[in-house]
Amino acid sequence: MKVYFKKVNFKPFAELNTYSSLNPIPFTLKFQRSHFLPETVYARNLEGENFIEFRFNKETKQLYEITLVAIQEDTVVSGIDSPFNDDELFECYIDDDSELEISNPVQILRSDSSLHFSWCKCPPKTYAITKICGLGVDNDNNLCSLSLVGLDEELIRDILGF
């Protein structure tokens, strides 16, 4: 899925909800405060049991939510932190000519303070969209990774379930 980014000069809203009796999925990260859902463009990576969904506002093309729907436990490995520069923050938008459903294997790297979901070798560029979330793109601006940083071990366990 092709995306592009616009730099912002404000601290973006972010709300991370993890697995609970009210939220039976590993996590949902919301980027807007809203009591109603906009008409939505769904972009998904459906490979294996790792299922990540990105929701974009159909009118504005702006990313407003990411949901990790399911995790394949044997794809989670220990890794190093995946830092990104959060001095500059961005909003993410989907390109009009984007492929909406991709099917690439997702590897999940887990450290003591971060989770990194990647479906490419190594993204050449990662954009901070909040202080805890960065999105990586390849040389063709295809979204290829998601990083969550600044987490504690309890939050990581809540997301992964182990």
Phi (first) and psi of residue 160, to 5 degrees: -80, -30
What's the whole-model pTM score?
Answer: 0.91
Q: How confident is the model at residue 29 (pLDDT cuts 50, 70, 90)?
A: very high
Q: Quick check: 5 pLDDT over 70? A: yes
Average pLDDT over residues 129-156: 93
Q: Quick check: 121 pLDDT over 80? A: no
Q: Quick check: 21 pLDDT over 80? A: no
Domain count, the chain: 1
Q: Quick check: 47 pLDDT over 80? A: no
Residue 107 sits in which domain range? Answer: 3-160
- b/e map of 40-73 (b: 16 or more CB within 10 Å)? ebebbbbbeebbbbbbbbeeebbbbbbbbeebee
Least confident range of 21-25, 66-70, 101-105: 21-25
DSSP 155: H
Chain mean pLDDT for the chain? 90
The predicted pLDDT at position 35 comes to 77
